[in-house]
Structures are given as structure tokens and as C-alpha cells.
Amino acid sequence: MDKRTILVIDDAIDVRKLLRLHLEIKKYNVLEAADGAEGLKLIREKRPDLIILDINMPKVSGLDVYRDLIAGTGRSLFPVLVLTTREEMGSLFRDLNVDGFITKPFDIKKALSEVDIIIAKRYRTEWAKESKPKESPKKLLVVEDDQDDLNRIVMSFINAGYNVTAARSGMEAVDKIMADLPEMILMKLGLPDLSGDLLAAKLKQIPRTADIPVVLYTPYKSTIDQTVAEKICEKAGVKLVGYDDPAELVKAMRAAAF
């Protein structure tokens, strides 16, 4: 497969150079634009696989660029990762169907992880030809409060051919489940706001969600007593899986499909 091309549109040269350095290390082709007008020109000429778009730019802003990209369809043909200093704009861009959203200043490792996830999710048919399970569910919800663990787990399932939605808390998971029913749910036992076993038990009591397979998991490094955790999950009527490597969770979800 040819290398993916990423276009970085940002008026801050230090941001562009930082992203170029690390993206090229990861074997991506990188293009740069210092403003929105130049960015739109490169989009039309080069048709990049992903656009990293700063919102706060002079002349043609990032928001103007994105509006141009979604004109007529409401959805950009190109995946877009938005960069902004204004965290409160996150809800706006979620409503506009952006593929990702990062607040400046950002951690470069998390930014690169977000890039990998967006690329894999948008182009997963090419990434997962060999590993996609024949009879696996297409829609999976992963519930994990730790962002780094969530990124690793989501990437593993995307590369295995799943259509993945993520939630960072039990309450966010409830909202997403009710808005768009997943075919399977993978959920951390020790969530901070609503324990995984309690949420799983509640889902089993609701007719609409009672038949959705639920697997709970806990890292082996967790301080939760494994024996106690297994009894809790047995009472809730769900399976508990311990793991070090997300591949173990992929295996467990495949087994739960049958």
C-alpha cells in the first residue's frame, strides 16, 4: 500500500515543522500550508488522505476551510483532524462531523495516535483485508476512561475489521448506546463514574439492549482483586477478561460473538 499523504494547514510554522518531523518518522508523506487559501489549493491539487486543520488562522480561517469541504453534503470527502486553542469548540465540531479534535497545546504522542486512528478507521478496508473476522460484529462500542489505553484498544479493533465507537465514561456510553445501538460492547470494569458491572446489569434489564453481548475487562496491572471481580461480573451475568495486550481483548470479543 502506498504511503498516506497528510496535509497540515496551520499558520504557526513551529507546529507545522513539529508535525512534519514526527509524521515523516512514521512514514507518512507530509504537505504544509500556512493559511486556509493555500490549504484549499493543495486539497484540490493533491487530494490528501488526511487534513490536520488549525482553526485560528488569519484571512481564510480553518472554519471557512471546513465549511468549504462539507458544502453540499454536510460531510467532508477528506478526513479532518481539527486543532484549536478553544476547548469549548469541541461540541461544535462534533456536530459538524469532524473526524478528530485536539486542543492546543497538544501532546505530540496523542496527536500521532489520533492521526493513526483516523487513518485506520477511514481506510480500514485496506488495513484489515487479512485480519477481518468473517463473522464478527461490525459495530463495537469500547468504554475506557484512560485515553492512552483507549487509543491502543480502538486501534487493535479497527485493524481487526471492526467499526468502533468509543466512550470515556459510563454515562457517555449510555448516551451512545441509546442513540445508535452497537452490536457488541467492550467495557472496562473500573470506570470512575459508573462501574462496568452495574452498567452491564442495567443493560441486561432493558429489552432494547438485553441481547447485546457485553464483555467486561480489567488490566492485569489493576489493583482490583481478580477473584472478587470475577464474582461481581458473574452476578451481573457478563464475562470478565484480564489483559496485557489489546489483542487478547480482540480474541475475547470474537469468542463472545458465538
* Residue 236 predicted with pLDDT over 70: no
Per-residue pLDDT, averaged over 218-234, amounts to 71
* Range with the poorest average pLDDT among 39-43, 56-60, 107-111: 56-60
Q: Cβ contacts of residue 159 below 8 Å, gap of 6+?
A: 120, 124, 127, 128, 131
Confidence at 42, pLDDT banded by 50, 70, 90: very high
The answer on pLDDT for 249 being more than 50 is yes
- The CATH code of the domain at 125-256 is 3.40.50.2300
Map grid coordinates 459495530 to a residue: 139
pLDDT surpassing 50 at residue 79: yes
When computed from its CA atoms, the radius of gyration of the chain, rounded to whole angstroms, is 20
pLDDT at 130: 45
Q: In which residue are the cell numbers 504511503 written?
A: 3
Q: Where does the pLDDT of residue 67 fall: very low under 50, low under 70, confident under 90, or very high at 90 and above? A: confident
To 5 degrees, how large is the angle CA 33–CA 31–CA 119?
Answer: 115
Place of cell 499523504: 5
Provide the pLDDT for residue 33: 94
Residue 160 near residue 136 (C-beta atoms within 8 A): yes
Same topology between domain 5-122 and domain 125-256:
yes
Amino acid 92: pLDDT: 62
Q: Model confidence over 7-30: pLDDT tens digits?
A: 999 999 999 999 999 999 999 999
| Model pLDDT, residue 224 | 65
State whether residue 161 is helix, strand or coil: coil
Residue of 107, 102, 104 whose CA lies nearest to 50: 102
Per DSSP, helices labelled H in 180-243 are 196-205, 226-236
- As a whole-number percent, the residues of the chain with pLDDT over 90 amount to 29
Give the C-alpha separation, 4 to 233, whole Å: 43
pLDDT tens for 93-143 read: 666 667 888 888 888 998 998 898 888 877 764 444 444 444 545 789 999
pTM: 0.54
Q: Mean pLDDT, the chain, as a whole number? A: 83
Query: Residue 188 has what DSSP assignment?
Result: E
Give the helix/strand (H/E) hosting 24.
helix 13-25
Of the two residues 95 and 156, the one the predictor is more confident about is: 156
CATH number listed for the domain at residues 5-122:
3.40.50.2300
Q: Which of 21, 250, 36 is nearest to 44 (CA)?
A: 36
pLDDT the model gives residue 37: 92
Residue 193 pLDDT > 60, yes or no?
Answer: yes
Taking residues 147-172, report their average pLDDT: 88
Where does the pLDDT of residue 48 fall: very low under 50, low under 70, confident under 90, or very high at 90 and above? Answer: very high
Residue spans of the domains in the chain: they are 5-122, 125-256
The C-alpha cell 442495567 sits at 202
Q: 35-49, 124-138, 172-186, 196-210: lowest mean pLDDT where?
A: 124-138
Q: How confident is the model at residue 62 (pLDDT cuts 50, 70, 90)?
A: confident
